[in-house]
Structure 1
Amino acid sequence: MNTYRIYVLSPEERVAEVIEDAFATDREALETAEDLSAGQFAAEVWDGERLVARLGGEFSLS
């Protein structure tokens, strides 16, 4: 099991919520992130320093 961090983001790209939990696979972490981000702007799933995926909200550096 790996420890993942799920960041739920606001439309302003600010962290609204952080969840840290152990999951057996990336898929399990992504499913949880999908549930947590319902009705929110976006969510990012991290495994250590590796970005697993970003769900929702288009990313922009500007």
Structure 2
Amino acid sequence: MLVLILVVVVLLLIGGCVCVFWEARGDAPRWARGVAKATLLGSELARSASRTSRSRQSDMGGE
């Protein structure tokens, strides 16, 4: 069951990346542009969470 969930998540990530590429080319339909925006927003949120986590570790003396 866990493997199935991970496969679905990976497929969604790949689909989001394809939509970002498609939208960057300029000929994507409206739904693909929406998926691309959501994918980029999710990546920004993950990046900011990672930065926050790293800054907290350095404040606590971790590496």
Task: Give the TM-score normalised by the residue count of structure 1.
Answer: 0.28
Structure with the greater relative contact order (CA < 8 A, sep ≥ 6): 1 or 2? 1
Higher Cα Rg, which structure = 2
Q: Which has the higher helix share?
A: 2
More strand by share: 1
